[in-house]
Structure 1
Amino acid sequence: MAISNGSDHENGENSIAPSLQTEGAAVEVMDTIMVRPTKPTCRHLMYMSGVDQILAAAGPSRTILFYRGQVDSTAAVKRLEHAIASVLVPYYPMAGRLARDENGRIAIDCNDEGVQIIHARCDLSITDLQGKGFAIQPYFRQLVPMDHLQSSDSSDDALASFQVTAFKDGITLGIAVAHSVADGVAMWNFIKAVSETSRSQPLSIYPLHARYLLKPSVFIPHTVFLSPDSEEGTKTAKVAPYNGCEEPRRESNTNREVLQQRVIHFSREMLDILKKECLNTISNTKAGDFVTSFQALGAYLWKRLAMAQNLDGETGVDFRVAMDVRSRMIPPLTLAFFGNAVVGVPTPSTAGELVTESLGATCARIRRSINQVDDDYIKRALIDRENKDLRKIALSNVQVLTLRNGTGFHVFEAAEFGWGQPEAVRPPFEHREGEMTLYPGKEAKSIDVIVALSEATCKNFFSENLYPNDPLQNSPLLLPA
C-alpha cells in the first residue's frame, strides 16, 4: 500500500490552520472572467428532482487536475474560454443560476449568465508535487473555486467554475460544479465536452435535459410495483415503502481536531490480490462469480477503518456509496442524462462483525446491498426524496464510511484539453474521518484513495499489526506509513 507523505489539514469548513500554510504556496488570482454561451439559449425555469434537492445541502463537487510541462497558462485560459462558450449552448443549464419556483423548491433559471474562469499563479513546482505522490497540501483549497460554499443552493454564484493556476513547470485546472446541478457522470460528461471542443473534436455525448423523468408524478402511472403478496406479473398500484436509509447527517468536528490527509495508491496487482482473497473467502461461490475492484477495495477499507477506530463491538458502522442508477431504471436512462441520477446505498454492520468476519464476508455485504438496487428500489427512493429536506433529518450516531467512487470516470482521457493528459486528479481535501474519494491512478487499472483520518486512527490504520490476516501484508508493494 503506497502511502504519500501528505500534510496535515484542519477539519474546518472554511479555515486552514495558519501553522499549516506552506511557505511560498500562496495562490495569487490574476484575472476572473465570465463566459456566456456563444448564442442565446431558451430561457426557462428548469425542474430539479428530489435527488437534486437533497444534494443542494452538499458542498460543490471540487476536483484538481495536475499537468506537468511547459504550458502557457494564458493560452490555456483562452482555449478554455472559447470551448466553454461553445459547449454552453447544448449544456445551457450550466450557464444559469439557481432560483426558487412557485412552490419554494430550487430550480435552475436558465438565463445564460455564464460560467466563471479564474486565472491564477503559484510559485511552486508540479514536479515536486509529483515526487510526493501528489499528496494533499493545505493550499490545494486555493487551486479550485467555490471554497467558500458549504452547500449547493446559492442563487448568487455560478453553477460551474474553472481555475487555471500557473506553476513553475506546469498548470493545475481546478473545476467546481454545484452538486445540486450534476452528479459525477454528468460533471465528467460536461468536462469531456469542453475538452473535445478545445481540441476541435465533435461531442461524443450530447446532454439529455429531462430531469422530469425522475419526478414521481411522471413515472408512477407507468410503473408496475409488485406488492410482496402479489402473484408474479400481477399489476398493482400499491407502492411499498422505501426501506433504504436516508443520507446520514453527523455532527461536524466541534473540537476542530486536525485530520491527517493521506493518499493511498492501490496498484492493479494489489487490487487483484484483494479480489482473489474475497472470492476465496465468500461462502457459496459458484463458477463464474466475480468481484469488482470497487467491491474488494471497499470491503478492505471498511474493515481496516473499523479496526483502526477501536470501536465498541456493538457500534453501528455503515458503508455507503452513491450509485449511478441510469442503467438500472426501467426503461433505462441514457448515459447522457444530465442531472443527479444517484441513490445512496447503505450497507449496515457492527464494528464487531467487521473485525471478526473474513474479507469475503464483508465484500458479500456490499454486493448484496448493490444487487438490491433495482427499478423498484430506485423509484421508491425517488418518491421518498421528492419533498425531503436533508437539513431537517435527525442527526445519526452511526459511524459511516462514505466512498465517493470516481473510478468509473475516464478522467485522464476526458481531461485532455490540448496540453496533454493530467498526471493526477485529486480533491482539495477530505472534510471528515470516514469520507474517502476514489479516483483512477495514472497507472492502468490502479486506484488512488484520498482519506482524512484523526491522528489516533491514522496511526492505527497504517500499523503493520492492525490486521493480522491482511492479504496485502506480505506484498512487496506494502509500504509502512
Structure 2
Amino acid sequence: MPSSPPSPAVHTISICTVKPPPHPRRLCHLTPWDIAMLSAHYIQKGLLFANPPSSSSLDPQQLIEHLKSSLSVALLHFYPLAGRLVTEEDRDADGEVKSTSVYIDCDGQGAEFVHAAADGIKVADVLALSGDLPDFLRDFFKLDGAVNHDGHFSPLLSVQLTELADGVFLGWSFNHVVGDGTSYWKFFNAWAEIARAADRGGGGLSRPPVHDRWFVDGYGAPPLKLPLTDPSRFLERFAPPPLRERMFHFSREAVARLKARANEECGRGDLSSFQSLSALLWRAVTRARGLAPGQATSCRVAIENRARLRPPLAKEYFGNSIYPIAAPATAGELLAQGIGWGAALVNRAVAEHTDAAIRAKLGAWMAQPMVYPLSGFDKNSVMVGSSPRFDMYECEFGWGRAVAARSGGANKFDGKISLYPGREGGAWTWSCA
C-alpha cells in the first residue's frame, strides 16, 4: 500500500487490533453515495491536546488502555467500522464476471490502534501559527495514501495516539466508504462520551447511530449490482505534487463583518457566513492563480443531503449522504464583482440542491455507476470540505478540550479548502492547500 516515508521524528511504539465485544454478524449493504467513494482516500482528521493527565493521576499506559477499552465499546455501537469490505462477483455460464456487489462484512474484525511518539515535537510546533503547516503532520496518521477500496484487506478505522513533548495528538484514519464527515465526528464524539462515562462508572450513548442505509426507490432491493467488474479500471492511486498548506483564522467579529458586507453589497440578508467566507477565499485563490478573464472557474462545496431529502434522514444516520455542488463563473466576472456576488452564486447552488435534485443525481448514477477520481478535480476551481457545524471541540475524552484540529495528507490537491469551527464559539479556521 502506498505510504509516505516515516518521519525520523515520529516512531511507532506499538500496534494492536481493538475488537468490539462479541455480537451477531451483520452485513451492511452500500449505497451509491458509499460506493462512489471507493477510489478516494480515507478521511484523516485529528485533535491536538496539551498536557493530558500526568503520571500523578493517569500514566501514559493507563491512558492508552482506557482509550482501547472505550474504543471497543464504541465499535459495538458503530459496528461497520470494525468490519471489512467484501466484493461478490456474479458470473455468467462462461465464468465471466457480469456484475459485482460491495458490502461491509461486520464480523468484529477490529480497528487498528497505534501508539507512537514524536521526539522533540511540541504543541506549538503542531499549531504552526505562522507559516506553512509542518510536513510531519502526515506521520500522525496511519494508512497514508490508502484508498477506501483497500478496506477489503486493511482496517476501516485506524487510530494513532502520538505522544508529544508537552501533549498528545489523536489522529484518526476513517474509511470514507463507511461514512462522511458528519458520521466521522458523530463516531468520535460518541467514543469520547463513552470514555467520559467510563470514568464516572456509567455507559451508553445519548444519541445512538442509525444504521439503516437509505436507498432511492425504484431500483430494487440491495445489494446493488454494479458493472464495476475490474478494479484497475476505476481505482487510482492519486498522489498530488508537493503542496503547501496554511491555516487562516477568522474571529467571531471578523466573520460577522464579512457576512454583513456580503449581504450589504447584494442588498439582501440571506447570505450565510459560510457562503461569504467561501466567496472570499474563492476570489483570493482565483486572483493568486492569475487566471485569464474568460477562464471558467467554480466554487465546489461538499453538501449534506440528510435534511434536504423528503422525508429527511435522521440526524444520526451513519453512512455517506453528501454531494458536491458547484457555483460557476468566469475568473473575470468573479474578480470584477464583490464578495457578495460570489456568495450569492454559492447561495443559489445550495438552494437548488433540493430533494428532487438529489433524487435526479441518484437516478443518473444508477444509470451509469462511477467512483470519484481525485485526479479529476478542476485545477481552476476550489473545493470546500468539512464544516463549522462538526462538533470537533466537544470531542473530549476527559483531558480537557482540544487545542486545535488538524488533518493528514489524504484527499488534498491544489485548491482544496477545509473548514473547521474555531475553538472559541463563532470563530472559524480554514485550511488551504
Name the TM-score class by shorter chain.
0.7 to 0.9
Among 96, 103, 106, the alignment partner of 1:107 is 103
> Aligned equivalents of 2:117 and 2:219: distance in 1?
49
Partner of 1:54: 36
Q: Alpha-carbon deviation of 1:89?
A: 1.6
Matched to 2:108, the amino acid is D
Whether contact under 8 Å (1:66, 1:126) holds in the other structure is: no
> Aligned equivalents of 1:32 and 1:442: distance in 2?
31
Whether contact under 8 Å (1:437, 1:451) holds in the other structure is: yes
Unmatched 5+ residue regions in structure 1? Answer: 1-12, 220-248, 453-481
> Aligned equivalents of 1:393 and 1:435: distance in 2?
11
Q: Alpha-carbon deviation of 1:192?
A: 1.0
Distance 1:14 1:275, change over 3 A: same
Partner of 2:245: 261
Cα deviations by residue, 1:236-256 (Å, 9 ceiling, x for unpaired): xxxxxxxxxxxxx999787x4
> Aligned equivalents of 1:420 and 1:380: distance in 2?
45
Distance 1:151 1:315, change over 3 A: farther
- Counterparts of residues 383-422 of structure 1 (less than 5 Å): 383-386=363-366, 387-390=368-371, 395=376, 399-413=380-394, 415-422=395-402
Partner of 2:226: none
Unmatched 5+ residue regions in structure 2? Answer: 54-58, 90-98, 198-202, 222-234
Distance 1:104 1:80, change over 3 A: same
Partner of 2:70: 83
Partner of 1:69: 51
Partner of 1:427: 407
Whether contact under 8 Å (1:316, 1:398) holds in the other structure is: no
Over the matched positions of the two proteins, sequence identity in percent amounts to 28
> Aligned equivalents of 2:379 and 2:133: distance in 1?
27
- SS where residue 215 of structure 2 aligns? helix
Matched to 1:205, the amino acid is R
Partner of 1:274: 258
Partner of 2:56: none
Among 432, 448, 455, the alignment partner of 2:429 is 448
- Answer yes or no: is 1:157 the counterpart of 2:157: no
- Counterparts of residues 178-193 of structure 1 (less than 5 Å): 178-193=175-190
> Aligned equivalents of 2:243 and 2:373: distance in 1?
27
Partner of 2:213: 211
Distance 1:130 1:62, change over 3 A: closer
- SS where residue 243 of structure 2 aligns? strand
- SS where residue 244 of structure 2 aligns? strand
Q: Alpha-carbon deviation of 1:185?
A: 0.7
Q: Alpha-carbon deviation of 1:406?
A: 2.4
Q: Alpha-carbon deviation of 1:361?
A: 0.9
Whether contact under 8 Å (1:30, 1:121) holds in the other structure is: yes
Whether contact under 8 Å (1:153, 1:180) holds in the other structure is: no
Partner of 2:85: 98
Whether contact under 8 Å (1:124, 1:168) holds in the other structure is: yes
Among 19, 35, 55, the alignment partner of 1:36 is 19
Q: Alpha-carbon deviation of 1:393?
A: 11
Q: Alpha-carbon deviation of 1:305?
A: 0.9
TM-score (norm 1): 0.77
Whether contact under 8 Å (2:189, 2:391) holds in the other structure is: no
- Counterparts of residues 252-401 of structure 1 (less than 5 Å): 256=241, 258-283=242-267, 285=268, 289-386=269-366, 387-390=368-371, 395=376, 399-401=380-382
> Aligned equivalents of 2:163 and 2:407: distance in 1?
18
Whether contact under 8 Å (2:9, 2:120) holds in the other structure is: no
Q: Alpha-carbon deviation of 1:260?
A: 2.0
Cα deviations by residue, 1:82-109 (Å, 9 ceiling, x for unpaired): 1111122221111100111344132111
Larger mean CA deviation between 155-164 and 385-394 belongs to 385-394
> Aligned equivalents of 1:392 and 1:271: distance in 2?
33
Matched to 1:260, the amino acid is R
Matched to 1:390, the amino acid is V
- SS where residue 104 of structure 2 aligns? strand
Larger mean CA deviation between 416-425 and 70-79 belongs to 70-79
